[in-house]
Every structure is written in C-alpha cells, then in structure tokens.
Structure 1
Amino acid sequence: MATRSPWPRPLSLPCCCLLLLALGGPGFFQSHAVEVDVKDLSNNTCIYAKWMMSFLIKYETNSSEYKNATLKPSVNVTHDGSTCGNSTHAPLLAIQFGAGHSWSINFTKTNETYQGNIISFTYNTSDAVFKDAKTKGPITIVVKDPMHPVKLNTVYKCHHLDSIEVANVSLFFWDVILQAFVQNGTVSKNDSTCEADRSTVAPTTVANLTTASITTASITTASSPLPTTTSKPVEKPLIGNYSLKDGDKICLLATMGLQLNVSQEKPVLININPKTTNVTGSCGNTSATLRLNDSNRRFIDFTFAVKNTSANTQRFYLKEVNITLISSINGSEPLNAGNNNLSIWDTFLGSSYMCQKEQTVLVTEDLQIHTFDLRIQPFKVQDNKYSKAQECSLDDDTILIPIIVGAALAGLIVIIVIAYIIGRRKTYAGYQTL
C-alpha cells in the first residue's frame, strides 16, 4: 500500500545507544555501501548490516506527464531511530538521506530463524531531483520484505541484485551482508548464501553504474559482483501482447516484438521475451506510459502524448522512451538511457498505429530498439479491442507501384540512350577518308 502522509520518525528506544555508519567506495560516479553496526547499552552489537541500495521512482509532473527519478544513499546518511528492540518493539534498522528521504526495516525471529519483516520507504518529491513534480512533499510506501528466514547466529549474504516493486517505486538491493539478533555481541562467522548467488555462474564485477538521464547505485569493491547476462539472440523476437487496465476496462493495448541493440564494449542484440515480462504503467487523457520489466532486470518505458493539430484534430504519438539495464552485458557496466524528444508512431486519437515491418527507435547512439509487428493504442480503447489502424509508410505497398514503374521507365531510358550512343559510334566508324 502507499500513503501520502509523512512517515513518522522511527522510535528511539533507551536500549539502543550506539550505531556506526560507514560510507565508502572510489569512483567519480561514486555510490556508497551503507554499513551499520547497531549496539545496545552495553556496547554489544545486536544488528550488523552492509549493503548497496538504489531507488527508481516514477512521478507525475505538472503537465500530467510521467518522469523517472533515482535516489541513492550518499555521504549525508544518518541513522536516527535504529534500535536493538525490546519486549514490545521489534529491532529496527533505519537510515535517512538526501532531502527528506528515509528507509527502514524491522526484524522478527523464531526459536531457530530470523528474517526481515516490514520495509518502509519515504521519498520527498520536494527534492530537486523530482523536477516539476505535481505533488510536493513526502510519500511513503510500505511493503513486506521478501527475504526468506535465515538461521539464527548466521550471516545472510547475497551479491545478486534483487528488487521490490510497489506503487511507482522500484527498490534495488545488492551486496547484502546482514545479521539480526547477533548473539553475545559478536557477528557470526557462519554464512548463509542466497539462492540466487548459488545459481549464478561466473559473476562479473561492475565498478560503477552510471546513467544518461537517471543515475542508479553502483558496486564499489571488487568483491561485490553483479550477475552477468550474456544473451545474444539474433532471431526475430517473440511477439508480445501487452495491456493496461483502468478499473475493469482496458485503457492501453500494445502488440510488438522487441529487440534491443546495445553497443557498449561491442554490439549485442537482446530479445525481450514477452512470456517473462511484467507489465505496469499508467493511463491518462493526454499522457500514458507502458512499462515493461523482463526477468533479466531490463526496464523499458514508452511514454505517449496527445497533441492538437492546426486542423483542430487530436493525434497521439510516442514522445519518450527510457531504458534501464540493471544486469551487465558481456562484463560492461549497467546503464540507463532515454530519449524524451521523439515524435513517432503518430496517428489520429481514437485510432491505433500499426507497422508490421521492422522499425528502429533511436534512444542514444549506443542503444536502439527494434520493433516488429507493432500495433499500439494508448488512448480511447473501446470494448477492450483495437480501433481501426493507421498503417506506417513502410507497410503501405501502394506507394511502391509508382516507384517500381518509375524505376523501370528510367532503366528503359538509360538502355535506349546507351544503345543510341553505341549505334552512332558504329555509323561514324563506317565512313573512310579517300
């Protein structure tokens, strides 16, 4: 659930007196591992945690458009309210950073295990990173921690990147080292590795995670790898059918095959598999967004807008594309890129746009999207089905006929001219001087 009321300051209980928070990591686009050591009144550790985290947030602007912003803990992190807990309050790990942002998690235990319970994240849209935000002020989301139970007196470790999505927020965590309910004030030497790390082969170290328009947190030490994704599909991608609902009615329809062309260290083609892709987004009267999130941590946002023409008619078009690739490709850095100055897939409002031939959407010089068998209708969907389609010029075979006829006539003229020149030369060669 998400609320728009400020999250209250975490409880500060008498049993918790000392907490050490360390930030570190080189690099110009520097990201900071957060290290927290919560101690009780006897100076004994009760919670130890070190992890990397980043937040990708979608928000509405004053022009009813949607944009993305990224938050990450930086050097001004504080830790008010972290506590060892007591008989009435659960242990709590809490941090605050930036312009009014905070994150916390509490823990529960049984006789044999412990685990995270409730995660709370508050972001403040009054921060400058939320440019032209329609709603100003703190917004809180609360979500159940998906972490599996861990044996007591064991340190949970997980290098693998994991994410939690709730409302318009994606929370990313990786390089996690955690022990709650530390016994005798000493962090255990026994490890419990997450299943994702056990199933990951040859992880690749990523030094930094930088973005073109959104900056996401990065790994700062050589011992903190992200998993490598090295898929190189070359065949035509599967065609996916995607839709969004407003209540019980479909408000956006999309059908397409998607292929990413990424040029980092070397060009790589990546097919998006619709069978393992999650669909989210939003519908509006003048702006709509389709977000696709596949199982390999690839996020693609298509933002559509409505415009008025000089003929007092309304048309829709693809205005913006944003892509975030969290998993590295061939050992290269994860990336984020966007293009907010598009004007393609243009047709009348109330119609659908269709293009069966392959099209290329330029995001950046190093990142393009290839679409196949495209059909899209982001507004005014009637009876949960597509309206009449406006075909793209690539599919319009009628314009090929005059082109073919013209080319044939031009070729015929060239042949006649060449034959005439050759004939003239032979005629001149037939006369000899006496």
Structure 2
Amino acid sequence: MLEPKSNIETNIHLVSSKNEHTLNNSISNTVISSTTTLTTSTTILKTTTPLSTTITLPTTPESTTISTPISTTTTIPTVPTTLLPPPSTGKWIVQENNTLCIVIQMAVQFNVSYTNDNVTIYKVMDVPSNGIAIGKCGKTEQNLTLSWESQNNTTQNNFTIHFVKNETEKYYSLHHFEISLAAEEFPNDKSNKTVTVIHMTPQFKTGLSNSYKCIKEQQMNLIFKGSNVTVGYLKVTNLQFQAFRSDNTTIFGLAKDCSFDTPDIIPISVGCALAGLVIIVLIAYIFGRRRSQARGYLSM
C-alpha cells in the first residue's frame, strides 16, 4: 500500500490478456514493490532543481516505469594558495686590498624542487637583503657571495655571482649564478646533503667602465651541476651591477639598460630584407633598360 506523503511516486501499469491479477510467465515470481528507494553515492551534489530519472524495467510484454526525483549534493575541495610577497632589494659591495671591485643591487627569489618518496616538493626562498657579502677581486674573474643562516640557524646558505672579463673586446659579463642550500632547508630529504644548483649562461654584457641595469624581472632556469635537467628557477628584479672597478666609490657608472637590448635576429632580418629590396630594384632597373634599348633598335 502506497504512503500518501511519499516523495516517490510509482505508477505501475500491468497489462494481462486474461486476468488482471495474473502476471505472464516471463515475470512470474517477480515482486515489484510499490515503494522504491534509490541510494546515491556518498558524494552528493546539492542542486536547487530536482533531477527527474526515468527507469524502464525490461519486462515482456509488460513494462514498468518509475519516475523519481533525485536530490544530490557535491562538495568541491578548495586548494589554499599562498602568495609570497616580492623580495626586498639589497645592495652589496666587494672590497679587497682597500680597492672596491664589485657593487651590486638586486632583489632575488628562487624556487628549487626535490623529490622525496616519489613526491616532488618545492622550496621557495628569498635572498635576504641583509645577507653578508664576501668575494674575490681577480683580474679576469671576480665573484660575490651572499650568505645567510638556514632555518635552524646551524649552517649557512650561499648565493654566488660570478663575473668574467674579456680583455680583447673590452667588456665583462655576469657569467653564472650558483646557489648552495643547507640540508636543513630540506627536512624530508634523507640524503642530508647540501643542495647546489646553478644557472650557467654568460649574459648581461657591458663595457668595462659601465654598469648594467635591468629593472624588469629576469627569470632563469636552475639545474644541478653536471645535469641539464631543470629543477627550479631564479627570479631577479631591480638588478644593477658593476664589476672590475678600480675606485672606492659605491656610485654606479654609466648604465647599459637591458630594455634596449635587442636579439641578434632582429638586425639580421632587417639587413636581409634591405638586401633583398636592393636586388629587386637592381633587377627591375636592368630589365627596364634592356627593354628600352630593344625598342630603340626597332625604331631604327
């Protein structure tokens, strides 16, 4: 017997050729309850509009149709995202034998990954603006190393910048970055070794008496030593440096700005286009002159 306040209404229409109370042999011994309960998944979607589901039971020759409103609910998990503040800009110098050879200012942030139990974990860190600077003032190679304490204050992290001078062409460049992170920065790493990554590419060229300036963000890949696999990246902003100095002032020399740097492909493309245009004009001139000479011969 149907309950009057049931949310599920079932209409069962049975057709029999001889007796309304006798089912066909194909559906004998089958009892269809007038009240049907559908159990949905444990993860439920909440919708304001009920869904109507029609289920047709395959009976021959009779058919049973059940119309059931289903209310479902779903819960979508949200992943919290933490935005790190931009790194602060610091300024450092390297002085040796009473001679200041390197002045640099920049804001640095890097992201290094490591794998533990087949799970990749990322370490994001800023180079603190109060890091201690030491370095070497060589004739053809100079470097600056920034050091700061690890998170357990037991060992130090190091960030080293290498400069190389080209005496023949009278310029120098930032040759590569090198980052050494203490094992304490990776507490889940069972190897307990210092992690060292580098960005190895000569760039940021400028004249020997000039500084190099690049305010916009520069992003560079980081790799392990002896490997070409990228394991992170380095972000540098508000960069200005001058190496191979021979005075004791901390004022930057005339700056070469990276915003005026253009890839070599641009002047090459422009030169090829101009050369092609000259060739086309020359061919057209020769062809036109020959036609005018031919017309002159015909008139004679």
TM-score by length of 1: 0.35
